[in-house]
Structure 1
Amino acid sequence: MIRSFFRLLSLLALVAAIFAGTLDSIQSVASSSVVVTSLGNHWQNLDVVSLAMAEAAFAHYIHADAWRWAIAPVLSQPAFAVFLVLALLFWMIGYRRPRFAGRFSA
């Protein structure tokens, strides 16, 4: 059941990566230059309030500089790349090895 949950998370992260990559490619074609939007810009365009709340929660519960050290570098990366890495990690967690059939199996 846990593996299925991680496979579902992997699928959702892959869909988000495809969506972010599609948006970037549409913007690139429209502007005739390469456009790569960072995860922070996508989050800011989606909901500014939740971004500020997440930053305040990190400052309050973890450390005041934890956002700048750990999260800000991730938010500056391209959104499609971050979601692709998350999809890969979730897939690896939820991966099930094929069963060994044995020496005398047909």
Structure 2
Amino acid sequence: MRARTVFFTLAVLTTANRACSEGIDVNRNVRPILSDKCYFCHGPDRSTQETDLRLDSREAAAEVIEPGELISRILSDDPDVRVRTGSLDERQLWTRSPSALLYDMDGRRRS
């Protein structure tokens, strides 16, 4: 479970500079998914964290990023490999624009 979540989120974080040109807004499209799907176990609240992995901090998340892993995990048919992305619409968002997550967590574009 942890590995799937890590790879899902971190692989997405690796290519954020394309987010603006692809029409993906981090605050509108990405942050709500992270908040709904990831932050409970991988956010700032130590009492609910499953691991030491923090996905609410770009710096912490970037330490374990494996570029390119996200797409293969989202599209995998193997339930042990596939990440839980939620709805089909969310899955399509990630496969069309995985770059959105490497945006700074404070919403600034990385150059």
TM-score (normalizing by structure 2): 0.26
- Please say which structure displays the higher CA radius of gyration: 1
TM-score (normalizing by structure 1): 0.27
Higher helix proportion (structure 1 or 2): 1
